[in-house]
Structure 1
């Protein structure tokens, strides 16, 4: 399987690339800066410079040609301001989805965040509120598409703790932490399970093995 990952040098993306290539899959990591290429190669993936804030859907579609699946794992990052939440977390996600459709890559998995369908609670900082609204808008736009077999994954608070391989996955899950290792493992399992298309799933640490948790969402 060939998977193209937007935000290819992100912390979740690198973990995903390692998992995919370790089992013999092909992974392509789209990156904004050429200097990020070595870490993508070290993860076993093919780096491709493609700034999602500076290209159109047709150019992205050219990089997606021949892929079996696409994963949007890009983000403006914690050091960015309100403007880049809009251009990356919303606009780039929607552009990537459009590019996947143009390239004929129906399978799309999006890394989002929990509670983005709700208005940010009072007291939320301006930048984080913009992030939540941008993610929510992108999710809504992608869910409205009928030309993609999309799945939206909404992890809780991300940590760098070692993964346990055990999670809680579903809807209406109480917000909690989850290691990035386990997010990546769930992404692989979602890519392997086409029946998760059309689902929006919350993810936190739990007691259920990842394969079992993913299979349960389709029953």
Structure 2
């Protein structure tokens, strides 16, 4: 591999992460962080190099060392509902925070962060104007089913958006399926009721490698009918325009 990026994936054995490694590995040097050596074979078969580090136990310094000389870190880790609220906090909030601190601790040029997060992460009272009744009902149902997960994801999200020491992009997908990808989606300020395949999310994540205009933006993605590359471009332009209007720059 020559001319590509050095990419490291936190949560490397997840379904999306394995797909992402397979997609990126032919043109990039991919390292996948895993918490158990048993996952090494799957990582290698995906074309990536396994690195054993536990998001729950490793220090900020250990992650900072792993991030040295990398170009991009993908954070695609989560407790997945196992271990109760305490583990959810440990992985989805404290783990994410440790990754933020580790990126800041890297000496020299800072790598980019692309964060795979949860859609509709916000204060429960802050309902976006573009939400319809189906969105609102879906949001209520999800928050009632996994309140700790949504709470701690929101906590990490609020912390990240205040940081400017490194460049970041957030990609929150809707409900995930294992259906074959169609190459199409709806991105940006979307409704949240249409699921999206893991293949589609993976394609969007890979495309973000070269989308430097996505820095500092949250880009929701759900099932839809727009080619993913085109949808991302439109979403980025729209979100930037709305943000500029809010601060009087447009």
**Is the TM value for this pair above 0.5?**
yes
What's the counterpart of residue 25 of structure 1?
28
Larger radius of gyration: 2
| 2:129 counterpart of 1:111 | no
RMSD, matched Cα: 1.5
Over residues 138-193 of structure 1, what are the superposed CA-to-partner deviations in whole Å (9 max), with x where a residue is unaligned? 11111110112111111000111111110100024333201011111100111210
Equivalent residues, number: 216
The alpha-carbon deviation at position 57 of structure 1 amounts to 1.0
What is the rounded CA distance, in whole Å, between the counterparts of 2:217 and 2:112 in structure 1? 12
Secondary structure of 1:207 counterpart: strand
What is the rounded CA distance, in whole Å, between the counterparts of 2:226 and 2:83 in structure 1? 35
> Aligned runs of 1:87-106 on 2, under 5 Å?
87-103=90-106, 104-106=109-111
What's the counterpart of residue 140 of structure 2?
121
What's the counterpart of residue 246 of structure 2?
none
List runs of 5+ in structure 1 lacking aligned partners: none
What's the counterpart of residue 15 of structure 2?
11
List runs of 5+ in structure 2 lacking aligned partners: 125-138, 238-250
What's the counterpart of residue 197 of structure 1?
215
> Aligned runs of 1:1-219 on 2, under 5 Å?
1-22=5-26, 24-103=27-106, 104-119=109-124, 121=140, 124-125=144-145, 128-219=146-237
What is the rounded CA distance, in whole Å, between the counterparts of 2:90 and 2:220 in structure 1? 24
What's the counterpart of residue 130 of structure 2?
none
What is the rounded CA distance, in whole Å, between the counterparts of 1:94 and 1:184 in structure 2? 23
What is the rounded CA distance, in whole Å, between the counterparts of 1:164 and 1:72 in structure 2? 24
- Judging by fraction of residues, say which structure has more strand: 1
Is this contact kept in 2: 1:64–1:105, CA < 8 A? no
What is the rounded CA distance, in whole Å, between the counterparts of 1:57 and 1:4 in structure 2? 15
What is the rounded CA distance, in whole Å, between the counterparts of 2:49 and 2:213 in structure 1? 28
Is this contact kept in 2: 1:90–1:134, CA < 8 A? yes
TM-score, scaled to structure 2: 0.83
What is the rounded CA distance, in whole Å, between the counterparts of 1:42 and 1:106 in structure 2? 26
What is the rounded CA distance, in whole Å, between the counterparts of 2:158 and 2:36 in structure 1? 29
Over residues 49-81 of structure 1, what are the superposed CA-to-partner deviations in whole Å (9 max), with x where a residue is unaligned? 000111211110111111011110011123331
